Amino acid sequence: MTVAYFSPMPPEASGIADYSALLVPALREHVEVNVVKRGAKRPPRGTDLAVYHIGNNPEVHGWILDALRRTPGLVVLHDFVLHHLVAGVTIGRRDGHGYLDAMEREHGVVGRLIAHGVLDKRLPPLWEARPEEFPLAGEVLALARGLIVHSRYVERRAREAGFGGVIARVPHPAWPVPDVAPAEIPGAPLIGAFGNVNDSKRVPQLLEAFARLRAEHPGARLLLVGATSPGFDLDRRLQRLGLQGDGVVREGFVDEQRLWALMAACDVHVSLRSPTMGETSGTAIRALTLGKPLVVTDVGWFSELPEGVALKVSVGTHEIDDLAASLRLLAERPDARAAMGAAARELATTEHDVHRVAAHQSAAFERVAGGGAVADVVLREVSEAAAGVGIAAGTPEASEIARRLSEVDLGG
């Protein structure tokens, strides 16, 4: 089977590019994979299935959505909330009407009115302010012949949005342990948080919790790695919490090698976010590979991590208290860190093993590529048999047959 593979690829700076670079060689053990060039409009001749990696970043995924519009295929849905992508390929291309239509298609007349407010700059951009309320995944779901998702959360959201096709839930692949020495950063313990420094990554809450930990454990350090989002005044917050000086170590965007070295240096990894866009965290997966204990927000994919590898903190009034308690527990219990780290490593090498993931993904490719033809044959044969004994469409008997077919996923 030949697959046309639409995805960002290195050197493009994208977590999904890294993901595909890891996965494609393993997929090639099962199917022929043609990685199409960025900007390609259609799959090459001889393709059995087009596979589209869709995420929320319009710079990275806009051209892939354009190709999906021309040739429906299987979508690997990396985010459920696609508002930013839709805004990028409409407003970002001076197509305000496209944005109005997208909002109306999924949220009715009220959605269109709100979209007018955004276009007229009377409302803040929804993709920044309230994207989770307006996910705008409908067009992608309508074009998808099947979905690969990484979490029950996204599977549920897709079903709730009315997607009736094949959904394969396949874990995010884990990278092999890199051959890299840990960076030399002191900390007892060293707590790492990787990714953009902003509100949605719960950095304000993390800083407050870390300040409490540091009051009790002066040797503790927090390593913040990633670009600071515009408008987020990190320095002022550090000053207010008394964390200026050597309590917090800052590094901006780093290359892959440095990222692994920094991650390897940490005793504990914190991966927080709210709201979730339905995404999986590549850095959390890397932490599993390295056998590091995790502290995560109890949302979306993060909620689905096994209890043994992550402490989960709910968003709400007790968030900072719970976060501080989690950090304290891991700071004071090296045995707990070791046990969680071992469980993390085990999870990375089993559930998230790249060869296992590739086998499951290629199984989904095969189901989707020829699945329509199989469903047609099954339904034709069953309907002919039913008609042969006088069961007509619309009768209770026909409905029961349809229900039973649907139960076993045979296209009823």
Partner 1 sequence: MRIAVLRPQVPFARGGAEIFTDTLVDELRARGHDADLVSVPFKWYPGARVLTQAFLWRMLDLEEADGERIDVVVGTKFPSYVARHPDKRVWLVHQFRQAYELDGTELGQFGPSPEDRALRRQVQELDRIALGEATRLFATSANVAGRLDRSTGLTAEVLPHPPQPLPYRSAPSEGFVLSASRLDRAKRIDLLLEAAALEPAVDVVVASDGPDRERLETIARERGLDGRVRFEGRVGEERLAELYATCSSVFYAPVDEDFGMGPYEAFLSGKPVITTTDAGGPLDVVHDRATGLVVPPDPAEIGKAAAWLREHAEDAAAFGSNGKAIADEVTWDRAIARLLS
Q: What is the rounded distance in angstroms from the CA atom of residue 285 to the CA atom of residue 110?
A: 39
Phi, psi of 356 (to 5 degrees): -65, -45
- In the window 39-98, what residues touch partner 1 (CB under 8 A)? 48-49
CB of 378 to partner 1, least distance (A): 5
**H-only helix segments in 281-395:** 282-290, 300-303, 319-332, 334-349, 354-388
| Contact assessment for residue 265 and residue 184, using Cβ atoms and an 8 Å cutoff | yes
Q: Please report whether residue 409 would count as binding partner 1 according to CB under 8 A.
A: yes
Q: Please report whether residue 185 would count as binding partner 1 according to CB under 8 A.
A: no
Q: Per DSSP, what are the bridge partners of residue 4?
A: 34, 50
CB of 164 to partner 1, least distance (A): 15
Closest CA to 382 of 391, 369, 394, 371: 391
Of 184-192, 234-242, 289-297, 375-383, the window that binds partner 1 (rule: CB under 8 A) is 375-383
Out of 40, 241, 342, 378, name the contact with partner 1 by CB under 8 A.
378
Rg of the chain over Cα atoms, rounded to whole angstroms, equals 24
What does the DSSP 8-state code read for residue 330?
H
| Contact assessment for residue 210 and residue 191, using Cβ atoms and an 8 Å cutoff | yes
Size of the site for partner 1 (CB under 8 A): 25
Interhelix angle for 58-70 vs 83-90, to 10°? 80
Out of 109, 230, 373, 392, name the contact with partner 1 by CB under 8 A.
373
Going across the sheet that includes 268-271, the strands are 248-251, 221-225, 190-194, 268-271, 294-297, 310-313
Q: Please report whether residue 374 would count as binding partner 1 according to CB under 8 A.
A: yes
Q: Which residues touch 265 (CB under 8 Å, ≥6 apart)?
A: 182, 183, 184, 185, 190, 192, 223
Q: Please report whether residue 382 would count as binding partner 1 according to CB under 8 A.
A: yes
CB of 380 to partner 1, least distance (A): 9
What does the DSSP 8-state code read for residue 197?
B
Out of 101, 199, 353, 366, name the contact with partner 1 by CB under 8 A.
366
Residue 30 or residue 269: which is nearer to partner 1 going by CB? 30
CB of 401 to partner 1, least distance (A): 7
Q: Please report whether residue 370 would count as binding partner 1 according to CB under 8 A.
A: yes
What six digits make up the tokens of 169?
């839930």
Residue 48 or residue 59: which is nearer to partner 1 going by CB? 48
Q: What is the rounded distance in angstroms from the CA atom of residue 382 to the CA atom of residue 379?
A: 5
Q: Which residues touch 230 (CB under 8 Å, ≥6 apart)?
A: none
- In the window 11-50, what residues touch partner 1 (CB under 8 A)? 48-49
Spell out, one character per residue from 195 to 214, where the chain touches partner 1: x when CB under 8 A holds, - when not.
--------------------
Residue 254 or residue 405: which is nearer to partner 1 going by CB? 405
CB of 324 to partner 1, least distance (A): 37
Q: Please report whether residue 368 would count as binding partner 1 according to CB under 8 A.
A: yes
Q: Please report whether residue 306 would count as binding partner 1 according to CB under 8 A.
A: no
Q: Please report whether residue 407 would count as binding partner 1 according to CB under 8 A.
A: yes
CA distances (Å), origin 271, targets 9, 33, 198, 287, 348: 24, 33, 12, 10, 16
Of 126-134, 179-187, 295-303, 402-410, the window that binds partner 1 (rule: CB under 8 A) is 402-410
- In the window 325-364, what residues touch partner 1 (CB under 8 A)? 363
Q: Please report whether residue 142 would count as binding partner 1 according to CB under 8 A.
A: no
Residue 148 or residue 382: which is nearer to partner 1 going by CB? 382
Residue 61 or residue 150: which is nearer to partner 1 going by CB? 150
Strand 248-251, strand 73-77: pairing? unpaired
Binding site for partner 1 (CB under 8 A): 1, 48-49, 363, 366-371, 373-374, 377-378, 381-382, 385, 400-401, 404-405, 407-410
